[in-house]
Structure 1
């Protein structure tokens, strides 16, 4: 199959590298140091998964690639506006565009550029890290990607894409409802990331000393999902808390780690999206609004 991967960080480099090592034609759309590194020294993956691609096909201009079967959009949510112009040259009549961002609004943002008929919302469950351009390390997690067409309709291309992932060792289960999966992950990742960044505490503290606040934040995201028509289970908040209870006490979310380290983060794409969708649907999200306001000030100060 013919793939294009937008971004070559922890996710794009990992999934694209394994697919390329598995014999698929993979083109990376990247820029700057990452482009130079991929072209000069290749791409390597170490850890639980390992692969090496010596000759990487990479460019900073998607127009040189042409139409592909599948596009993996693997940049952070805040970078989506910057890469939107790279998508149309890659998308043919049947192309599948898989969104891989944390949060809930990436499918809508990408669909505004290429059309809903091409977008496959995706949920990634894996821990990877960009050690340096072209060098990705895998640190655990299920190592899976769950995706489906916008209306959960199976097509031959969706099935072939799942088979391509599975052939290189990546779990790609068929979801009963991709929107339930997407919002269920958001109920976990957004509140823990924002509350963790605000408090500076790991999951072990959030789920004990701050449990009531954590539950209330989860409930805000749940209410948005239901207002959007997502068929979340009746006990969705309890399930999310039970999942958090199973995680290591010292675990932290990537949003929290990025904010506390003054790195570019997905604050706007995750917490900001919750606030914006809440306003659009007239669903109150007071805790996320407060966390977004405070954390935005911190982020602005770090950039000054």
Structure 2
């Protein structure tokens, strides 16, 4: 297949590197500094998965790539506006665009640029990180990548994309309902990330010392999903808490780590999206409003 990968960080470098090593045509669309690193130093994936590309197809202008079968949008949610103009040149009549961001608003934001018919909401459960430009490491098990068309309808391109991921060792099961999967992940990562950033504590202490607050935050996300028509199971909050209890005590989220370490984060794409949806749907989100307001002060300092 012919892929374009927007970004070459932990996710983009990992997926793009493995797919290219697996024989697919992969075109990275990246910023100028990353472009120089990829063109001169290649791309290395280490850890549980390994790949080495001496020659990388990369550009900072998507117009030089043209239409592709699949676009992987791997940049963080706070960078979506910056890369929006790179998408239309890549999208032909049958192209699908996988939105790999945390949170729930990326599919709508990308659909506003390329149209819903091209967007495949995607949920990534895997731990990778960029150690340096062109140097990606993978940790833990193979994880999963789930995606589907906007209306959960399988197409030949989606089927071929699924086979491409599976062919390089990445499980890509077809979800029963991608929106349920997307919101189920959000119910875990957004409340735990926000509370973790505010308290400076990992999941082990959140689920004991702040369990009632964590449950209340999860319930706010649950209420938003239901107001949006997402068919979550009746016990979704309890399931999320049970998942929290299964995690190693030292687990933190990428949002939490970015905020605590003073880096620009996905705060607006996660907490901000919850607050905006609450206003739009007339669903009360008092805890998310407070956490968003307080953590926005820290976010502004990081971006100053």
Q: TM-score, normalised by structure 2?
A: 0.99
Quick check: 1:59 aligned with 2:78? no
- Quick one: distance in 1 between partners of 2:250 and 2:94? 44
| 1:1-150 correspondence to structure 2 within 5 Å | 1-150=1-150
Tell me how far apart the structure 1 counterparts of residues 2 and 302 of structure 2 sit (CA, whole Å): 40
- The residue number in structure 1 matching 2:287 is 287
Structure 1 unpaired stretches of 5+: none
Query: Is the 2:48–2:142 Cα contact (8 Å) retained in structure 1?
Result: no
Q: Distance in 2 between matches of 1:127 and 1:88?
A: 29
Equivalences for 1:245-256 in 2 at 5 Å?
A: 245-256=245-256
Secondary structure of 1:207's counterpart equals: helix
Equivalent in the alignment of 2:200: 200
Structure-1 separation of matches of 2:165 and 2:214: 35
Query: 1:32: Cα distance to partner?
Result: 2.5
Contact kept in structure 2, 1:97 and 1:119, CA below 8 Å: yes
**Which portions of structure 1, spanning 4 or more consecutive aligned residues, are displaced by more than 6 angstroms?**
none
Instruction: Say if 1:86 and 1:26 are closer, same or farther in 2 by CA, change over 3 A.
Output: same
Q: Would the aligned equivalents of 2:5 and 2:71 in 1 still touch at CA under 8 Å?
A: yes
Give the corresponding residue for 1:171.
Answer: 171
Determine the C-alpha separation between the residues in 1 that align with 2:180 and 2:143: 19
**2: CA distance between counterparts of 1:55 and 1:301?**
38
How far has the Cα of 1:299 moved from its partner?
1.5
CA distance in structure 2 between the aligned counterparts of 1:141 and 1:268, rounded to whole angstroms: 29
- Aligned pair count reads 304
1:244 is aligned to 244
SS in 1 for 2:208: coil
- Name 1:232's counterpart in structure 2: 232
TM-score when normalising by structure 1 = 0.99
Give the Cα–Cα distance (whole angstroms) in 1 for the partners of residues 136 and 96 of structure 2.
25
Residue 185 (structure 1) aligns with: 185
**Given that residues 202 and 250 in structure 1 are in contact (C-alpha distance below 8 angstroms), is that contact kept between their aligned partners in structure 2?**
yes
8 Å contact kept, 1:125–1:141: no
Contact kept in structure 1, 2:188 and 2:218, CA below 8 Å: yes
